[in-house]
């Protein structure tokens, strides 16, 4: 772990990977909930956690344990969401070949995995979901599509995700959902926040 100042009221914590980030995020949010840490935002990414709006960064540096990645402390009970999905994506057969199975096998693996929102990025409401083992990591498409419809369920590298709005994208498309992932009229506007546990359920 390496922590450094990122401006007058922010601290950037660098960590070795998404598992360490998840553990650090749980610990830091727990400290904030108990009133032991003051930060306007705690923002996880692939290998960093940003503490923003910290009134006394020097005090926070003294507060941080030597190894945040162990996740010591009592994490908050995670929010759980099930996303109904129709598995008819354009790349479903390609993913099946990569996994050495058939369409039914892909569906069984994807719906049988408990995912966790590691961090959000790329577009408002886009959550990077971890949980698939290394055997089921897949490459991005060689040529990105110019438009992927909102609600598309997809895979890339170690992640699964759902496109919240129509956008270009190079992920492997395996299905679609009617759930709304991002709506400014909602509070909060994003359906999936870091730490949320996500399961997919086949919809026929």
Domain parsing of the chain, residue ranges? 2-70, 80-202
Do 2-70 and 80-202 agree at the fold level?
Answer: no
pTM for this prediction: 0.84
pLDDT at 102: 97
Q: Tens of pLDDT along 127-136?
A: 999 999 999 9
Residue 115 bridge partners (DSSP):
198
- List the beta bridge partners of residue 14: 2, 48
CATH assignment of 2-70, among 3.40.50.300, 3.40.50.10190, 3.30.1360.40, 3.40.50.2300 = 3.30.1360.40
Quick one: how far is CA 22 from the chain centroid? 9
At the second CATH level, the architecture of 80-202 is: Beta Barrel (2.40)
**What is the DSSP secondary-structure string of 26-82?**
HHHHHHHHTTS---SEEEE-SSEEEEES-S-HHHHHHHS-S-GGG--S-PPPPPEEE
Look at the block and give the residue holding tokens 């890339």. Answer: 156
Identify the pLDDT of residue 203.
92
Name residues of the chain where pLDDT drops below 50.
74
pLDDT of amino acid 159 = 96
């Amino acid at each position: 772990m390496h922590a450094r100042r990122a401006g007058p009221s922010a601290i950037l914590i660098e960590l070795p990977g998404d598992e360490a980030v998840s553990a650090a995020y749980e610990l830091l949010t727990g400290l904030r909930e108990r009133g032991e840490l003051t930060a306007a935002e705690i923002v996880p990414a692939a290998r960093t956690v940003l503490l923003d709006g910290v009134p006394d960064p020097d005090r926070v540096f003294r507060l941080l344990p030597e190894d945040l990645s162990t996740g010591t402390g009592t994490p908050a009970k995670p929010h759980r969401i099930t996303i109904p999905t129709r598995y008819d994506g354009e790349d479903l057969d390609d993913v099946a070949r990569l996994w050495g199975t058939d369409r039914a096998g892909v569906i069984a693996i994807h719906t049988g995995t408990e995912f966790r929102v590691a961090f959000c990025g790329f577009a408002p409401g886009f959550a990077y979901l971890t949980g698939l083992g290394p055997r089921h990591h897949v490459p991005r498409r060689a040529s990105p599509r110019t438009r992927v419809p909102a609600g598309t369920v997809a895979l890339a590298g170690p992640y699964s995700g759902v496109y919240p709005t129509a956008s270009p994208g190079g992920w492997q498309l395996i299905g679609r959902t009617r759930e709304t992932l991002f709506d400014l009229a909602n509070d909060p506007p994003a359906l999936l926040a870091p730490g949320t546990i996500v399961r997919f359920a086949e919809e026929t």
